[in-house]
Amino acid sequence: MNPVLLLVDDDEAIRTQMKWALSADYEIVLAEDRAGAVENFKKKKPAVTLLDLGLPPRPADPDEGLATLAELKAVDEMAKVIVISGQGEKKNALEAVAAGAYDFLCKPVDPDELKLLLKRCIYLADLEREYRKAKESQQVNVFENMLGTSPQIQGVFSFIRKVATTTAPVLLLGESGTGKEMAALAIHRRGPRKEGPFIPINCNAIPENLLESELFGHEKGSFTGATAQRVGLVETANGGTLFLDEIGELPPSIQIKLLRFLQEHRFQRVGGRQELTSDARVIAATNVDLKAGINQGSFREDLYFRLAVLVISLPPLRERRDDAVLLAQEFLQKYAAQNGKANIAFVPEALRAINRHPWPGNVRELQNRIKRAVIMADSKRITEKDLELSTGIGFSSTTLKEARENVEREMVQRALKRNLGRISSAAAELGISRPTLYELMEKLGISRE
């Protein structure tokens, strides 16, 4: 089924022209005044509304159009409304955007520009709809404080559920900021040791001369400054989980002791002779290539295979872009509540910028940017500038034709990915035939593999 598009304009000729231009891609619903717009909006729940600001009884001023926008947003605050205004009334259109409109177009409307804008608008509406569903079914999509609907992150959740019930070591792989510690904590909470302690340590944050003592403890007098016996984290984690973050930075001398502990669950404190035991499950994490470390001689191969009994790779945020907006909305609600800023929201351009940004710092970067934006924002509308993200649509140096092809390429690739490469399913989702999809893929240089 085509998306529903509500067109609100008091000019019958324009309504007819727009319906003719867009009916191939949308189910068109018409209204000529505020009452009809609100009635059809409630009844049809359109994906997008095109709203002329000049409506009866005073079509010469924007008051009735702005009032219509306010009523539509009152029915559904997430409503996507594109306003249309005269060339000399741009300030009215900007006022509408400030009041919650998605975007604006000036008359006369360029059909190609309108179609491109509608595609972007509906794409974001779909993302927000996924977010709503995620919030309504948190038991499915919010997993141990980790949120995501993408196949990549859902696969991680499934793997965690399986490995949590075992006691075998787990190795978490992923870039910085992808949530490795949260995944480790999820494994702990889902497993039989959930009543025991969860002890995290960053192997790169402690000087080498202190790291051995931190992990395995020391006896009184074992070195200068050791004025009392100290219990190490391996011992403290007995009956629970020891999480070793940045395991790739572990010095070779300590790798040997960790290997022995993994093999026998036995260790000695620094300066001690007594054999001690600890029943701690080990979960390790790294953002470096351990196999490269093996080849370079900086990481023991036997330790790697002891740690990598079960391996989970956490995807970077750029590979699950559909989750970026979901996470952004979640962080916005969290930090708005913490800072007493009720009803704060993203402007449409901010959501587009979030979806486009490559997020080299992954979820941690997204979280920090939104926290800062909430604190520093001067209004209740978070802009791309508040997030310190680019405002361009990503096609600034291209023609309209090239921009349209870029949007089409992205939509086709996402549809193929969501449907696991099945042409028929992807074509149905995009509302086109199989031959048309094949032709589009060939035109856009998209492989069939």
The pLDDT confidence band at residue 254, using thresholds 50, 70 and 90, is very high
The residue ranges of every structural domain in the chain are 4-134, 144-313, 317-382, 400-444
Average pLDDT over residues 8-34: 90
Q: Which residues face 105 on adjacent strands?
A: 84
Lowest mean pLDDT among 104-113, 250-259, 388-397: 388-397
Q: Do 233 and 215 contact (CB within 8 A), yes or no?
A: yes
DSSP per-residue string spanning 57-83: T-TTSSHHHHHHHHHHHHH-TT--EEE
Higher pLDDT, residue 378 or 235:
235
Token readout for 77 is 């605050």
- Predicted local confidence at residue 283, as pLDDT: 97
pLDDT digits (tens, 9 = 90+) for 384-421: 888 988 544 444 434 556 566 667 777 787 778 777 77
Distance from C-alpha of 100 to C-alpha of 81, rounded to nearest angstrom: 8
CATH of 4-134, picked from 1.10.3470.10, 3.40.50.2300, 2.40.50.140, 3.20.20.80, is 3.40.50.2300
| DSSP secondary structure code for residue 380 in this structure | S
Give just the sign of the alpha carbon dihedral 75, 5, 120, 363.
positive
> Do 144-313 and 317-382 have matching folds?
no
Mean pLDDT, the chain, integer? 85
| Site of tokens 């940004």 | 357
CA distances to 8, 39, 64, 430 from 70, in Å: 14, 14, 10, 31
Q: How confident is the model at residue 221, as a pLDDT? A: 84
Tell me what pLDDT residue 114 has. 87
Task: Identify whether the C-beta of residue 76 lies closer than 8 Å to the C-beta of residue 38.
Answer: no
49 forms beta bridges with: 6, 81
Which CATH superfamily groups domain 144-313? P-loop containing nucleotide triphosphate hydrolases (3.40.50.300)
Q: How far apart are CA 376 and CA 51, in angstroms?
A: 33
DSSP 122-172: HHHHHHHHHHHHHHHTHHHHEETTEE--SHHHHHHHHHHHHHHTS-S-EEE
pLDDT digits (tens, 9 = 90+) for 33-45: 999 999 999 999 9
Residue of 404, 375, 403 whose CA lies nearest to 387: 375
Is 317-382 CATH 1.10.8.60?
yes
Residue 301 above 50 pLDDT? yes
Q: Which are the contacts of 136, defined by CB distance < 8 A and separation ≥ 6?
A: none
